[in-house]
Amino acid sequence: MSAAAADNAPAQKAAAIVPAAIVVDHAVKRYGSFEAVKDVSFTVADGEIFGLLGPNGAGKSTLIRMMTTLMPITSGRAIVAGHDVAKDPNAVRRVIGVIPQALTSDPDLTVEENLSIYAKLYSVPRAERAKNIAEVLEAVDLTQWRGAQTKTLSGGMRRRLEIARGLVHNPEIFFLDEPTTGLDPVSRIAVWEMLDNLRRTRHLTMLLTTHYMEEADKLCDRIAIVDHGTLVALGTPIELKHSVPGANVVEVHFDRESEEWQKRLEGMEGVTSVQAESAGFYRVLTSSGSKTTMQLVELAASLGETLTSLSVQNTTLDDVFVHYTGRQLRDEQVKPPAFTLPPRPGARP
């Protein structure tokens, strides 16, 4: 061990004994006979921004609902800020803020009224309410809109209001289910900056789900990828990118579409996967971007073909996502459990 590393050892030890903010331990959720979450385990460190990624229907919202006491766990445990969600749900509710996937602020109330109702629901003492509301409005940059009716806000402002509402009782742990879905790129970046700022100024731990890989890459310290209710990968964005075979992505567009491109590309040295994106356009994962590029140019020249475009990039989180979850659409629907209504009085059988 180097001297510098030895000097750091006590600090690292101290950091290691800070209890995890969230522990999910062999969690299972069954809806009837359908298992939506299958034996998932992970921990989120204090002060961390943790991302849950996965295709539609993977089980992300179900995991959030279990961690936030909105739905009972079928088996396994979830411990949030030291409290077991099954044994002490009220203690959990006091220390968490939740932004659900759907917008839930009341459109007919003003911004301030929406915040005030929440503060009362969370029993924030009257003396602190006005101060907390002013602080969260400032944090999400909505102070000048405090008197506006919520239905008059833009999508980005409405999302910021939802974030403010989740913070009005000063939670320690913040759960956000798709906080930027439907926002334009500028509003999305504004929300990222806001969340990063909040984490630092309020020392919040955050667990968020997103379908935007760039968002996860920029914002999250660690990422878990779930698919079909199972955790399929876990690590920092860099670790996940390194875990995918092929360090570079070469995007190539042939002027002419031909059935042989796919096979030829797959046969090249160092190439680990080839995805056909559209006619003549391929995304090639390779261990050496420069070698593959040279080979492609030579191939095109030898066949008298034209390359319309050619680019080399490092592996992105999109590649990681596709590697771990595949490319099939997840449109399968689960039938809701059958309920039998009692017959109406007088109804014929």
Per CB under 5 A, 68 contacts Mg ion: no
Number of residues that bind ligand ATP (CB under 6 A): 14
Residue 45 CA to residue 321 CA, distance in Å, equals 23
- What is d(CA 143, CA 127) in angstroms, rounded to the nearest whole number? 19
Task: Measure the CA–CA gap between 177 and 180, rounded to whole angstroms.
Answer: 9
- Using CB under 5 A as the binding rule, whether residue 210 contacts Mg ion is answered as no
Residues 214 and 279: their CA atoms lie apart, in Å, by 26
Residue position matching structure tokens 């690590």: 235
**Total residue count of the chain as it appears in this document:** 349
Q: Which is nearer to ligand ATP, 59 or 289 (CB)?
A: 59
Residue 62 within binding range of Mg ion, rule CB under 5 A: no
Contact status: 59 vs ligand ATP (CB under 6 A): yes
Binding to ligand ATP, residues 61-120 (CB under 6 A): 61-62, 101
Residue 248 binds which entry of ligand ATP, Mg ion, none, CB below 5-8 Å type-dependent = none
* Amino acid letter for position 28: V
Question: Which lies closer to Mg ion via its Cβ, residue 178 or residue 319?
Answer: 178
Among 21, 50, 60, 114, binds ligand ATP (CB under 6 A): 60
Of residues 81 through 110, those in contact with Mg ion by CB under 5 A are 101
Of the candidate spans 3-11, 49-57, 74-82, 234-242, the one that interacts with ligand ATP by CB under 6 A turns out to be: 49-57
| For ligand ATP, the closer CB: 31 or 281 | 31
Helix (H/G/I), strand (E/B), else coil: 126:
helix
Q: Where are the beta strands (DSSP E) in 91-194?
A: 96-99, 173-177
String of b and e for 131-168 (b: at least 16 CB within 10 Å)?
ebbebbbebbebeebeeeebeebeebbbbbbbbbbbbb
149 forms bridges with which residues in the sheet? Answer: 110
How many chain residues interact with Mg ion (CB under 5 A)?
3
Residue type, 263: K
Asked if 61 interacts with Mg ion (CB under 5 A), we say yes
Ramachandran region of residue 252, left (φ > 0), alpha (ψ -120 to 50) or beta? beta
Instruction: Please identify which residue in 28, 30, 31, 91 interacts with ligand ATP, judged by CB under 6 A.
Output: 31
Q: Which residues bind Mg ion (CB under 5 A)?
A: 60-61, 101
Q: Which residues bind ligand ATP (CB under 6 A)?
A: 31, 34, 36, 54, 56-62, 101, 334, 336
